[in-house]
Amino acid sequence: PEVAPPRTIRELPDELISQIAAGEVVERPASVVRELVDNALDAGARHIQVKLMAGGVRAIVVEDDGCGIPVAQLPLALKRHATSKIASLSDLESVATMGFRGEALAAIASVSEMAIASRTASDAHANRLDARSGELQPAARARGTSVEVRELFFATPARRKFLKTDATELAHCVEAVRRHALARPDVGFAIWHEGKLVDQWRPATPEQRIADVLGEDFIADSRAFSHSAGPLALTGRAGLPEAARSRADQQYVWVNGRYVRDKLIAHAIRSAYEDVLHGQRQPSYVLFIEIAPELVDVNVHPTKIEVRFRDGRAIHQSVRRAFIDALAASRSAEAEGVDS
């Protein structure tokens, strides 16, 4: 049989490269919200506003009061692989910021209509850059940055078709902000949809923030723990077995402030509940893991939702221990009739 002749190899245009890369990072409006809030936190913001239209599909605007972007660097912020957060491999190995890949803004800009307005402390006024036209104009705002993302996936109908109803997309966006809000009680957050306030969390203590986001019931039905082992510190709250749920919708884990999903950690927690939780019942918990950055690789997944630990066994043991102790303490407190 005849073999077809080889096809020509071409270098892809930059825009198409970004659109392909965007597929990995931008799945839905909530992915955009997450990336933009990450950036605001990296910029040292104390207050972050997230404003959405039509579940984020029509518009996502994230405003912060962080350090801003110098006007000369605004176009660079939109370029792929351009970042202010790392400069070398050794920086990558000890990265302490949420971002470092320099991809998010470029990726989002390639699948939406984006504009950034920003002002630094030394600027006389803000400047607004329109990503598509490249037009730069003076704008009005206080120090900080506003990123506007409109008509997500307007040019990639295949992607747009996968979006769910506005209500579902909104719920995912709100969940993305809740994850940030739980990890950063020191920062104020507000979420708006169609001009109406959906949720608002003022700066608070960690415990108060958990109560504000997850509810007073969650506090009443869980026990705090704090456990440290060498370069590892674990804090959080373990839900009581009797408050377990039918769905795994209150299980939150962060590593160095970054929300993650990790099988090893989930397994360690599950095993701590082994004797007290039966069937498909799901424990509620929040777990904050702080670990020396050198001991965890955050560059294993484009969205950084997965991480790899240098010493997985030690993590597993410590997490399991922290939860077992919290649950045991709650049982002995109960036996003595005191409330912890």
Site for ligand ADP, rule CB under 6 A: 35, 39-40, 43, 64, 66-69, 77, 83-85, 99-106, 145
**What number of CA atoms fall less than 13 Å from residue 275's CA on the CB side?**
7
Among 99, 144, 188, 206, binds Mg ion (CB under 5 A): 99
SS3 of residue 15 by DSSP:
helix
> Residue 235 Cβ, how far from ligand ADP at the closest point, in Å?
26
Amino acid found at 102? G
Reading the block at residue 1, the tokens are 């049989």
Q: Pick the closer one to ligand ADP by CB: 244 or 255.
A: 255
103 binds, among Mg ion, ligand ADP, none (CB under 5 to 8 A by kind): ligand ADP
| Using rule CB under 5 A, residue 39 touches Mg ion | yes
Q: Nearest to ligand ADP by Cβ — which residue?
A: 99
Pick from 51, 19, 25, 15: nearest CA to 147: 51
Q: Pick the closer one to Mg ion by CB: 117 or 232.
A: 117
| Using rule CB under 5 A, residue 31 touches Mg ion | no
Q: Pick the closer one to Mg ion by CB: 39 or 250.
A: 39
Q: Pick the closer one to Mg ion by CB: 87 or 124.
A: 87
| Using rule CB under 5 A, residue 97 touches Mg ion | no
Tell me which residue has tokens 């996968």: 162
Residue 41's alpha-carbon distances to 60, 160, 187, 209, in angstroms, are 17, 28, 8, 17
Pick from 102, 173, 113: nearest CA to 148: 113
What is the per-residue binding string for Mg ion in 101-140, x denoting contact by CB under 5 A? ---x------------------------------------
Question: Cα(24)–Cα(123) distance, rounded to whole angstroms?
Answer: 35
> Residue 119 Cβ, how far from ligand ADP at the closest point, in Å?
10
Q: Could you write out the DSSP letters of every residue in 237-282?
A: EEEPGGG-BSS--SEEEEETTEE---HHHHHHHHHHTTTT--TT-B
298 binds, among ligand ADP, Mg ion, none (CB under 5 to 8 A by kind): none
Q: Pick the closer one to ligand ADP by CB: 39 or 284.
A: 39
> Residue 93 Cβ, how far from ligand ADP at the closest point, in Å?
16
Q: Pick the closer one to ligand ADP by CB: 101 or 223.
A: 101
| Residue 35 near residue 127 (C-beta atoms within 8 A) | no
| Residue 53 near residue 151 (C-beta atoms within 8 A) | no
Which residues in this chain contact Mg ion in the complex, by CB under 5 A?
Answer: 39, 99, 104
